[in-house]
A and B are shown apart, each in its own frame.
Chain A
Amino acid sequence: MNRVIPGLPLSLGITVLYLSLIVLLPLGALVWQALDVGWERYLAIMSGARTMAAFRITLSTAAIATLFNGVYGLALAWVLVRYEFPGKRFLDALVDVPFALPTAVAGLALSALFAKNGWFGGPLAQIGIEVAYTPLGIAMAMAFTSIPFVVRTVQPVLEDLAADVEEAAATLGASDLRIFARIIFPAILPAFLTGASLGFARSLGEFGAIIFIAGNLPLKTEVVSLLTFIRIEEYDYPAAAAIAATLLGFAFVLLFLVNMLQLWQQRRIGTGD
């Protein structure tokens, strides 16, 4: 922007040095450890039954959690933007609870709710649904911790949506559902997908909330982050490095996807914001 303001060398220097020490050095060490494992051993680790099961469980439960938050998050954003009602501000503040509440506390709370004598666990057990110690419990924990993502990405886009197109469509006799599907949803789609991807990424790496409710049985309810943790406790560092690096790879792919989605959105809106 300009050169009269002082402090670029100092602030840039601090930023780059700090990021190098705090972020890049450890991630570099992780990649270095993973490369040290070697390709053949990496494949052997990753194709092990327990690792494969952990990835399958994590990906499928994260998909369920993302699906839930896609629907609930979109409805929540819609209600917050389009309607006025008592308690709206309170509802808006509640959305951020999963970001502010420690994951271990969230996990503890969910385990209490879904225990056999819990507020939800009791009634659910009577109709034969078990949540605690099942993949459903994992999905619940993931869904809870990633609630804000879809809401907070869709909300501003929905607020900026011009009313004229949908009004024109209404004047022409299009039904609400049709207008939503053909006009509104396409407009918020990039933001929606961004939020969903961020939530999915968060779910893939979630640990604290899950381990309290998952039961953590190998091959059944053991997620990738927990398996990584267990390998570390067993001093099986190559396996931990291989699994953690793979998870890191997933994170980078999703990050890339989110960046592409944001470019798409910017081009559509035509602003650089």
Chain B
Amino acid sequence: MAREPLSPENAHAPRRIRVGDGPLARFLLIGTVLLVTVLVLVAPLLAIFAEAFRHGMGAYAASFSAPDTQYAIGLTLFTALIVVPINVGFGIAAAWCIAKFSFPGRNLLVALVELPFSISPIIAGVAYLFVYGAQGLLGPWLGEHDIKIMFAVPAIILASLFVTAPFVARELIPLMIAQGSEEEEAAVTLGAGGWRILRLVTLPNVRFALLYGAALCNARVMGEFGAVSVVAGNIRGQTNTLPLQIELLYQDNNAVAAFAVATLLTLVALVTLVAKAIIERLDAARVKAQGKPGH
């Protein structure tokens, strides 16, 4: 946060001048930023709800009665239910070895964990097609054994796993490094085993970061579009997740239904951000109380 301009030791100092502290600069900068923010960040959110309720509450509610849309809601929830726990597990494992140990190739491993962030979802989708598609690396073998992954639910799950792999790990790694290993070492000397330490010492210390990582991972899984649209094949009522259903409804000129479905995902996003704000506040309170980063 900004330094306190009026703390006791500098109350006597000559007027503290920092760049941009003049009233005009302040007013212009804050005003401009707020205006642009309303236009580029607030307006899109409002537009979604305005369009969804354009023809009233009834039309909005009716949008969810279509079987395809209900199927898409179910498939999206199902995907999140599988992907989020797996990536939480992966995040904990990755954070444990990266934060608590040093070994050759550790930096490379960190870079690998974060790699999916830098890769276009379309590339991820195409890459999965080249593994599990009919012409792909494992395609012939999968065909022989009659296993269908591409253009089916397993591909949606795999692509989502790829795209959201870094979310939990990225929240945990810096925090666990900052917290150090003293508490775990103390637990070892007291005779605790690895699982016990993880459950009773490490995870309670990082629980808020873990929750936030999982919430972000969840929001992203539910909203993933590019990667899923390559591997899902857009089969109505079979492989349509909510974002794909939005596109389909939009192409069908069923704008109200498209925006109605979009409000669901917008609410997921907003809840995630509120959770983040609460977690940050709790964390700040904890740092104040204990003097260490806690999340």
> Which A residues have a C-beta under 8 Å from some C-beta of B?
1-2, 4-8, 10-12, 14-16, 18-19, 22-27, 29-30, 32-33, 72, 75-76, 78-79, 81-85, 87, 89, 91, 93-106, 108-110, 112-113, 118-120, 143-144, 147, 159, 163, 166-167, 170-171, 176, 179-180, 184, 198, 201, 204-208, 211-212, 225, 228-229, 232, 237, 240-241, 244, 247-248, 251-252, 254-255, 259
30 A–B pairs (Cβ distance < 8 Å), ordered by A: A2-B181, A4-B188, A5-B101, A5-B181, A6-B194, A7-B194, A8-B103, A11-B96, A12-B101, A12-B103, A14-B94, A23-B116, A26-B124, A29-B136, A32-B130, A75-B32, A78-B20, A93-B274, A97-B273, A100-B273, A101-B269, A108-B258, A110-B44, A113-B44, A120-B43, A163-B3, A176-B19, A180-B20, A205-B122, A244-B126
9 additional A-B pairs beyond A18-B90, A170-B19, A229-B230, beta carbons within 8 Å, are: A5-B197, A22-B161, A82-B18, A105-B265, A105-B269, A144-B44, A176-B25, A228-B126, A244-B126
Stretch in contact with the other chain, from B61-69, B203-211, B216-224: B216-224
Residues of A within 8 A of B265 (CB): 101-102, 104-105
Q: Is the CB of A93 within 8 A of B277?
A: yes
Q: Is the CB of B2 within 8 A of A159?
A: yes
Distance of A16 Cα from B97 Cα, bound (Å)? 10
Q: Is the CB of B273 within 8 A of A96?
A: yes
**Residue from B47, B229, B269 in contact with A97 in the complex, judged by beta carbons closer than 8 Å:** B269
Q: Is the CB of A78 within 8 A of B29?
A: yes
Q: Is the CB of A102 within 8 A of B122?
A: no
Say whether, besides A179-B19, A205-B120, A207-B225, A100 and B269 are in contact (CB < 8 Å).
yes
Say whether, besides A94-B37, A109-B44, A102 and B276 are in contact (CB < 8 Å).
no
Counting chain B residues whose Cβ lies within 8 A of the other chain, the interface size class is 35 or more
Kindly state whether residue B45 has any CB partner on chain A within 8 Å.
yes
Residues of A within 8 A of B43 (CB): 113, 119-120
Least CB distance from A138 to B in Å reads: 15
Say whether, besides A108-B262, A109-B44, A89 and B118 are in contact (CB < 8 Å).
no
Distance of A96 Cα from B272 Cα, bound (Å)? 10
Least CB distance from A126 to B in Å reads: 17
Q: Is the CB of A11 within 8 A of B230?
A: no
**Residue from A5, A8, A103 in contact with B225 in the complex, judged by beta carbons closer than 8 Å:** A103
Say whether, besides A11-B94, A102-B224, A240-B126, A248 and B119 are in contact (CB < 8 Å).
yes
Say whether, besides A32-B137, A100-B273, A147-B41, A225 and B48 are in contact (CB < 8 Å).
no
Q: Is the CB of A79 within 8 A of B30?
A: yes
Residues of B within 8 A of A208 (CB): 121, 225-226, 243
Least CB distance from B143 to A in Å reads: 16
Kindly state whether residue B51 has any CB partner on chain A within 8 Å.
yes
Chain A residue at smallest Cβ distance from B130? A29
Distance of A52 Cα from B165 Cα, bound (Å)? 32
